[in-house]
Homo-oligomer: A and B are copies of this chain.
Amino acid sequence: MERKENLYGVFENLLKIKNECSYEIFSECGISDITVKQIEYLKTIDEHGKLTFTGLAQITKNSKPTITEMINKFVKMECAYREKSAEDGRIYYICLTEKGQMIARSEKYALMKLIERISDVLEATEMETLIRILKKIK
């Protein structure tokens, strides 16, 4: 019982650190009032790479004007930009800026920062023990 409480405590601490790392990433990007929806869009764009407006509309099941509006917002926020297709003059690809990528990947980067911090503190053998134990959880 007490073991569980202790474990709860240490995990709570780890999650707190991870959240701080997340917060840092958003601060660095100078973005404070982004919405959950917008982060979702950025993730979708990031995952699919070069997407067209029509493509993003289909994936997110929205109309094309909705996508235009969203991308215009992202351009203003310096999170995305348009890249004209060389083959077809009607097509524009949606590309993420570094800032846009940071936000899209903020979860990943926060976890990476946490891992960095863990590996700074632990010995090699401890790292291995940790991995061995935690691999058991499915």
Contact = CB atoms under 8 A, between A and B. Distances in A.
Interface of A: 3-4, 6-8, 10-15, 17, 36, 111-112, 114-119, 121-122, 124, 126-131, 133-138
A138 B4 CA distance: 19
Instruction: Name the prevailing secondary structure of the A interface residues.
Output: helix
A128 B36 contact: no
Q: Give the residue among A114, A122, A133 with the most B Cβ atoms within 10 A.
A: A133
A3 B134 contact: no
Given A119-B4, A137-B17, A10 B131 contact: yes
Contacts of A122: 133, 136-137
B115 A11 contact: yes
25 contacts: A3-B119, A3-B124, A3-B127, A3-B131, A4-B115, A4-B116, A7-B115, A7-B119, A7-B127, A7-B130, A7-B134, A8-B111, A10-B131, A11-B111, A11-B114, A13-B134, A13-B137, A17-B137, A36-B36, A118-B137, A121-B137, A122-B137, A126-B136, A130-B130, A130-B134
